[in-house]
Structure 1
C-alpha cells in the first residue's frame, strides 16, 4: 500500500476519534471510554460500555447514510456496508472499555450476540436483506480493526475467530475503507481554514418522551443522562454539512434505527436502545 493512502487513513482516524471522548465527557454516562490517564479499570462499567458501544455504532451507521445522502456520495457496492465501515472507523482509537477492550470491539460483540440469539441460523429473507448477516457484520468489524494495526491486534486471530487467510487481506480492507471515506469528507471537517460558524446547526436534536411502559425507563435514562446532547454538540463543532440532519430519539413500535432521506432525520428507536441495555446487563452478569 502506498504511503499517501496510509497517511490519509491515519488523518481520518484522528479526525473521527474526536467525537467519542467528547460524547462521554459531555453526557456524563461513564468514564470508561474517556481518553485520559485518569481513567482506571475500577471506573469502567461493563453495562455502560456495552450500551454505549452498541448505541454509537448504530448511530454512526445511520450517520453514514445521512452523509451519503447530503453529500451526494457515490457508493460502489452496498450502501449498508459503506455505512458499517464509517461506523467502525468512527469508533476506532476511542479508548478502552471493560467488555471488548475497545468500543468498536464491543459493537462487534453486539452483532455476534444478535446472531447467537437466532441460534446462528439465517432465514431465507435474510439473504434478500440489504444488510449483511449479523455474523458478517461482526466479522467485518473485527477485520477492519485488525487491519488498522496487525501487530497491536494480533490476538484477534486466535481469540476472535479471525481466519489467518482473511487476516492477510484485512490491512488492505482497512486502508481502502479509510482512504475512501477520507477522500469524500475533506470538505466537511472543521479546520483552521474552514472554522465552524458560532451558530453551526448542521445537526439538531429532538428527544421525545416515551409513549409506552416498555420504553419509559430507557427514555428516562436517555433524557436524564443526556446521551445524545454531547454527541450533537461535538458534531456541530467538528463538521459542517451543506444541509441539516435532525437526530430524533423516540418510540417506533419496533427495534430499529434508520435515516429517512425525505425528512433528513436519523431516528434512534427506544425499543432498540432498551434491547442494548438488556443485553448489556446480561453481559455484566
Structure 2
C-alpha cells in the first residue's frame, strides 16, 4: 500500500477542515445582528408561553421527522439532523395558509432561540464542531433562510436588516422551493394529505381515519418547577393541537409515543428507536422559558450598541477557541500520520 497519496488526501482534508472552521468563525463574526434591535414581536412578549410553545412545536416536529425517516426507511443523502430541521420548518410553514404575523412570530422565535443558544455556547467555549447537529448559528441561518424564501417580497426587511447576508439571501427562495418539492414527495408517499395548486395541504381522497397515531404520556416529575411545566402542558392543550395536526397528516407504520419526563442529563429531546418513542425533557422546556427572558434584555443591549460589530459572538473568545481546536486537530493529525507511516514501513519490511 502506497501511503503517500493517502497522506496527501488526509492532509488536504485536514486543511479543508481548518479553513472551514475559520470560514464559519469569520462568517459568524461578520453577521450583523442589528435586526434584533428593531424587533417588535407582540406575540412573543405579550402572549404567555408563545415563545416556549413555538420552540416546543419545532422540537417535537424535528424528532417526529426522525421517526418518519427511520420507521419508513427513507434514504437521506446528507445529515439527518439538518433534514429533520428542514422537515420541521416546512411542516410548520406549509400548515399555514400564508406567512401571516403569527407564523412569522413563531419562526422568529425559533430563529432567536438558536441565536441565544449560539451566544451561550460561545460564552462558555462549548462549541461542539464534531457534533452531528449543525452549529446553532447555522441552524439560525437555515431557519431564517427558509422563512425569508417563503415570501421574499413580504419579508424583504429580513434581508435589509441583515438577518441574512446577501450571499445567502439571494437564493433562499430557491432553497424554499426545493424543500417544498421534497416535502411534496414525502406527502405523496408517507402522508394522508396532498397539496393543492396553492400548496395548501388537503386530505387525500379515501384516506383511512384508522391508522397508527402519535400519542403522548406525561411522566410526573419530582421537581416543583417541572410540576409547574407539566400543569401548563396539560392545561394548555398545545401538545394535543400539534399532535392532532400531525396525526391528520403523517403516515406511520406503527404508533409512536412522546414521553415528557424529568431526570435528564440536560435540556434535550431525542428519538429512541428501541421504544418507538420520543423523549422530551422538562429541562428543555425550562430552557426555553429561561431563554425567552434573555431575549428582551438582549434586544435592549443591541439597541444601545447597534453601531458596534460582533455583539453576539465575543470574537476574542471565539478566535481563541478556534486556535485551540486547530492545535488539537493538527497534533492529532501528525500523530495519525506518524502511526500510518510506521505501519507502512513495517508492511514493506515484511
Q: Is TM (by shorter chain) over 0.5?
A: yes
Structure 1 unaligned blocks of 5 or more:
1-40
Q: Which structure shows the higher helix fraction? A: 2
Kindly indicate whether the alpha-carbon contact (under 8 Å) linking 1:47 and 1:277 is maintained by their aligned counterparts in 2: no
CA distance, structure 1, for counterparts of residue 279 and residue 208 of structure 2: 25
Q: TM-score, normalised by structure 2?
A: 0.63
Kindly indicate whether the alpha-carbon contact (under 8 Å) linking 1:92 and 1:103 is maintained by their aligned counterparts in 2: no
> What's the secondary structure of 2:182's corresponding residue?
helix
Q: Deviations over 1:11-31 (max 9, x none)?
A: xxxxxxxxxxxxxxxxxxxxx
Tell me how many residue pairs correspond in the alignment: 241
Name the Cα RMSD after superposition. Answer: 2.4
Kindly indicate whether the alpha-carbon contact (under 8 Å) linking 2:215 and 2:255 is maintained by their aligned counterparts in 1: yes
Q: In the alignment, what sits opposite 1:235?
A: 246
Flag as ranges the 4+ runs of structure 1 deviating above 6 A.
41-44
Q: Deviations over 1:133-182 (max 9, x none)?
A: 10110001111111222111111112253111211121221112221222
Q: In the alignment, what sits opposite 2:74?
A: 73
CA distance, structure 2, for counterparts of residue 108 and residue 236 of structure 1: 26
Q: TM-score, normalised by structure 1?
A: 0.76
Whether 2:145 is the aligned partner of 1:133: answer no
* Within-5 A mapping of 1:99-248: 101-119=104-122, 123=126, 126-190=128-192, 191-197=203-209, 199-248=210-259
Q: Deviations over 1:175-223 (max 9, x none)?
A: 12221222123133323423232x4442111112112234222122112
CA distance, structure 2, for counterparts of residue 58 and residue 268 of structure 1: 9
CA distance, structure 1, for counterparts of residue 257 and residue 81 of structure 2: 20
CA deviation after TM superposition for structure 1 residue 84, in Å: 0.5
Higher CA-based Rg? 2
Q: In the alignment, what sits opposite 2:195?
A: none
CA distance, structure 2, for counterparts of residue 43 and residue 140 of structure 1: 21
Structure 2 unaligned blocks of 5 or more:
1-41, 193-202, 298-350
